[in-house]
Amino acid sequence: MTGFDADSMHRLAKLALDAGEVASPEEAVALFSGYRLRIVLGRGWADTLAGQACFVTAVNTAARAFLGGVEVCGELDAMLRIPLFEGRNAATVAPELGATITAPAQGELPTLVLGGWVPATLPRFCVSLRWDGWRAWLAPGASDITPSLAHDHPLAGVAAAALGVNEAFLHIRGDMPAAGDRTVGLSLWTPLAVAGWRNDEHSGPPLRYLPDALWLVGLGHLGQAYAWTLGMLPYGAQRPHLVLQDFDKAAASNLSTCLLLDQGDLGQRKVRVVSRRLEAAGFTTAMVERRFGPDHRVLPGEPTTALFGVDNLAARRDLASAGFGMVVEAGLGSGHRDFRNIRTHTFPGPHSPAAVWPAEAGAQPAVELNDAYRQLAQERDDLCGMTQLASRAVATPFVGVLAAALVLAEVVRPLHGGGTHAVLDLQMKDLRHRTGAPLSDGPVPAGFLTAG
């Protein structure tokens, strides 16, 4: 027998088993243990909150995907100002997030660069992560360019990190021949601007207002990506009130997807772990330790804006009766081919949750086992266990945090006079494939705080 099961299997390494590349969970993890990444911190990377958000997000997401290790080198003396790590030194934060600090970059490793850096020679795969206002992107190579101080927006830093780690993963997996040789980006102000997203009109206005209260439903992969991203935003002394709702306990497999969990949190309620992390950063929280369902009602004085991160069609249909004034939810692809796909919905919109997710569409399809799973079930005399493992989604937090940046942008944008979208569809493998439906008169969060 083996220690790998549905509750312990690494959710990204699982894609090698699902794709038939390996014959066992052990082989999948061994394969991913050969994947390594380097992050170089160049001149000026920490001058903006966006740069700081990019740094911690890149390290945290990469460490959960590149199981061979993540190296960080360069300018590590900066003191962080983002709420989740306020007053902490970058050199102490990086190891806590799973990275190893090394001497100046040497050797051939896929490399992400933040800030200005001009090496003597470039690794074969090397991209610079960039941010400016509401825009986030990566470009091939390294440069002597210091990041702009104008229009500092941490959501762009989070998105840039997600795009960079994804690009490195595409390269190391051989899933995209052009990975590392292309410019990839988007504007969170105008996410449907595919061709001209780098034009000045898509930079968006300065960030001045942030939501003052939110309800986070579900604290797994997506819910913790929402919480993490909220912890990057420039809240001043007054921080928002959050209602956190989840009923589940942290399992070993969650370590590969949940950005606020570490080994010491296993077996604990996710809602309590997330509450501790956020309260340590100055947020106030209330905990709801039950499933979201048809009996849910928002009471007077509770947040009326919700970020929904539950992968359950019945629960999504119940959003309409809960009494929220604004809901933004995200769904992710779950297979080894589509796990990078992101779809968001904002309610109220032109269609109700029941119309978007009709009851007749809720039946779970039977799990089909590929040759690897059938062989494992026979060898280990555990058809039930292998079927349960096969049913689990392929998932990784570098997809989840890009979804979180898109979701938070839907909440923050209308506070600055921008619009919302009934639906957004995005394929992270190739951002040219973006579609959506803007709302002419979409919802707006009930209250706000002034950005610090």
Catalytic residues: 384
Contact 114, 76 (CB under 8 A): no
Backbone CA torsion sign across 205, 207, 211, 214: positive
Tracing tokens 């942030």 back to the chain, one arrives at: 210
Contact 292, 220 (CB under 8 A): no
Strands 341-347 and 420-427: antiparallel
How far apart are the two ends of the chain, measured CA to CA in Å? 54
The number of beta carbons lying within 10 Å of the beta carbon of residue 133 is 22
Mapped to the 3 state alphabet, what secondary structure does the chain carry?
CCCCCCCCCCCCCHHHHHCCCCCCHHHHHHHHCCCEEEEEECECCCCCHHHHHHHHHHHHHHHCCCCCEEEEEECCCCECCCHHHCCCEHHHHHHHCCCEECCCCCCCCCEEEECECCCCCCCCCEEEEEEECCEEEEEECCCCCCCCCCCCCHHHHHHHHHHHHHHHHHHHHCCCCCCCCCCEEEECCCCCCCCCCCCHHHCCCCCCEEECEEEEECCCHHHHHHHHHHCCCCECCCCCEEEEECCCECCHHHHHCCCCCCHHHCCCEHHHHHHHHHHHCCCEEEEECCCCCCCCCCCCCCCCEEEECCCCHHHHHHHHHCCCCEEEEEEECCCCCCCCEEEEEEECCCCCHHHHCCHHHCCCCCCCCCHHHHHHHHHCCCHHHHHHHHHCCCCCHHHHHHHHHHHHHHHHHHHHCCCEEEEEEEECCCCCCEEEEEECCCCCCCCEEEEC
The closest of 16, 68, 52, 28 to 155, measured between CA atoms, is 52
